[in-house]
Structures are given as structure tokens and as C-alpha cells.
Structure 1
Amino acid sequence: MTLTTATPLERALVEEATKKSGLVWVRGAGPARALWHVWHEGAVLLVGDGPGEQPLPGLVAGERAEVTVRGKDKGARVVGWVADIEELAPDSPEWEAAVAELKGKRLNAPDAETMPRRWARECRVLRLVPAGSVLPVPDGSLAAEPLPTAATTRQAAPEGLPKLLLRRKDRKPRG
């Protein structure tokens, strides 16, 4: 399924923004998580749920997820869209193509040569396919409110400190 109800401009926005972003926020059946991904053949590819890989909780094949793409420069929300979740079967042609793309983008892998075999044994490879038009931009911030606390991180500077700092600047070098 593709972005059938989306306009050509929306489809282009989803593809370009997602390609350029190194990170997407994905919400399945639970809270949204920041995940690294690769855009390949019209969908987001994810690998995880194995030792040393990102967790993919709440992302179940056959269900839908909400994807929020952030801008690479400022980290601000660029676009949000709904995706159908597909789990690729290990060693299938689709899985092989996905793993080839993911392997090239996986940073700091301790086992770069044997990584595809490990992914086949221990991880899940998911494909998030856009399904519908883009999501409306929400009103207000989506940031979680900080928990109330008595802790403080800012205290007034000691009275003499500004004088000490200014005096050092005015000192003449010894010659």
C-alpha cells in the first residue's frame, strides 16, 4: 500500500524528508521512540530487537504506526505520516535487499562482516510503508512536561566572583 490519498506534493515531502533525516520518531502500540532508519524503495527500513540493536517495542506486523520525521539541521518536526508495518522474513529477496541497505548505514557495528547472519538469527527487520495522507501538524509542543522536583540547577553567583573575574582582565602582564 502506498500514499494513495496523498497529493503528489505530500508524497514527495514524505520521501525527501524521510530520506534526509537520520532519525524518525515511531509510535506503534506504545510511546514514540527515536529510531535510526534507511529509506529504500518507498518505505522506511528498521532493524532491531536483538542484542546490541535498537528496541522496536509496540511495532507489530500487520498493524499501523505513526511516523514523525525530524529535520536534520534543527531537529524540528518536518512531517508526520501513518505507516503499515511489514516484517520481512529472513533470507527472502525483500529481506536481502533491505539488509544490504541497512548494513551500509549501520554505524559502529562490532561485527560488520557477520552482521546480516546475526540479524537473521536474532533481530527483526521491519518495513514501514506510507499509507494515507500526511498527518496534520499538532497544536503546541509534543514535549513531555518535566516532573515536579525540589532540585535546582541554578544558584546565584557569589558576590565576590564578578570582581575577581574583572580584576584578572585588567591585570598588566609582567615583563
Structure 2
Amino acid sequence: MTADSLTAAALLDQALVEEATKKSGLIWVRGPGPDAPSRVVWHVWHEGAACVVGDGPGEQPLTGLADGDSAVVTVRSKDKGGRLVSWAASVVELAPDSPAWEAAVAELKGKRLNAPDGEAMPARWARECRVLRLEPAGSTLPLPDHDLAEAPAPTRATTRRPIPAAVPRLLFGRRRKRK
């Protein structure tokens, strides 16, 4: 291959990673190591990297991701949910209240759904959470050939149980027949 074709292939890979990651609301992220679990996380694409927030109360877990580590990001299709592209990333933890942190949080804040504290969210993130940038590092990777599903992270939340049989009658009563 010539230098021009390598450059063109690298530019195509970069464009694929950026467009696919921008359009997808969720990505799978696997930390370093062969046995590291893949976690699904919500993110925003900001200034050439996927930015995520987590590891605080009520936020997504970012277990196994540390500043300076590498990670593998797998992007899904927003329409069909299938895997589009996998790419290597370098993990950069942003220092709270730094200019890069402020810019990333401004983007993340707009995408955070159901936040319990609204406008106070950035201050809580600065105190209790981590904001990470997953920066593309190199070309795309082969798509994983195995299931990326993992056991759910431990939580206090419980599953709804079936309602007792008598509840519908109590709530809606028996309908009286009209004469």
C-alpha cells in the first residue's frame, strides 16, 4: 500500500468512528485486560472524543476505566441496534472545573435524562463523579464475535412483582349491567 492509500484509509476510519459514535446514544466500553467486562454507557461526542460521566450516586458505573488506560469501544446502530464499528480508545480523566471539563459537562448536561437535581447537576458531578474522554487511538478494530451482554451491576432497585389478582376488581370494580 502506498502512503496516500494508508492516509485515505485512516481518514475513512476516523470518519466512520466519528459519525457512528455521534449518532449512537449508547456504546459498549471494555477496559484494559482480556477479562474486563463490557459496560453499556450513554455518552456525547465532543471535540473528537466520546465523553462519559459516572461512578457517582445515581450515575452509570465506569468500573475498570482509569486515566491513561486503553479501552475498546463498540458502537451500535441507533436504528437496528446492531454493531457498527469497534475502535481503540485512550482514556483521559478530566479534572473538575478545568476548561476541558466545563466544555464536556456542558454537552453531557444536555443529554442527561431524568437527573434528580437539574441545574445543580454539574456541581454534584464535580464533587462525586468522574468525567472521562474516550479518545480514538488508531484504526478501527474487528467487531467482536461474541455476546457483549454482562450481568447487571449490583443495585438496590427491584423488579416489579405481579399484582395480586384482587387489585383490578378493587381499583375498577365490577361493571354493572345496564337494563
What TM-score does the superposition give when structure 1 sets the normalisation length?
Answer: 0.76
Q: What secondary structure is seen at the aligned counterpart in 2 of 1:25?
A: strand
Counterpart amino acid of 1:16? E
Q: CA deviation at 1:99?
A: 0.4
The equivalent of 1:136 in structure 2 is 142
Q: How big is each residue's C-alpha offset from its partner over 1:70-106, in whole Å with a ceiling of 9 and x where there is no partner? A: 0011110000000000000000000000000000000
Q: Distance in 1 between matches of 2:147 and 2:134?
A: 22
Q: How big is each residue's C-alpha offset from its partner over 1:134-173, in whole Å with a ceiling of 9 and x where there is no partner? A: 00234x44356xxxxxxxxxxxxxxxxxxxxxxxxxxxxx
Q: Distance in 2 between matches of 1:136 and 1:108?
A: 35
The equivalent of 1:62 in structure 2 is 68
Question: Does residue 80 of the first structure (1) align with residue 86 of the second (2)?
Answer: yes
The equivalent of 2:22 in structure 1 is 19
Task: Indicate conservation of the 8 Å contact 1:6/1:134, yes or no.
Answer: no
Q: What secondary structure is seen at the aligned counterpart in 1 of 2:108?
A: helix
Distance 1:36 1:18, change over 3 A: same
Q: CA deviation at 1:112?
A: 1.1
Q: How many residues were matched structurally?
A: 141
Task: Indicate conservation of the 8 Å contact 2:86/2:140, yes or no.
Answer: yes
The equivalent of 1:34 in structure 2 is 40
Question: Does residue 43 of the first structure (1) align with residue 49 of the second (2)?
Answer: yes
Q: Distance in 1 between matches of 2:9 and 2:30?
A: 20
Q: Distance in 1 between matches of 2:56 and 2:43?
A: 15
Q: What secondary structure is seen at the aligned counterpart in 1 of 2:15?
A: helix
The equivalent of 1:118 in structure 2 is 124
Q: CA deviation at 1:32?
A: 0.3
The equivalent of 2:110 in structure 1 is 104
Q: Between Structure 1 and Structure 2, whose CA radius of gyration is higher?
A: 1
Q: Distance in 1 between matches of 2:124 and 2:93?
A: 16
Q: CA deviation at 1:6?
A: 5.7
Residue identity (%): 72
Q: CA deviation at 1:7?
A: 1.4
- Quote the RMSD (CA, aligned, Å): 1.8
Q: Distance in 2 between matches of 1:103 and 1:6?
A: 34
Q: Distance in 1 between matches of 2:12 and 2:125?
A: 35
Structure 1 moving runs of 4+ over 6 Å = none
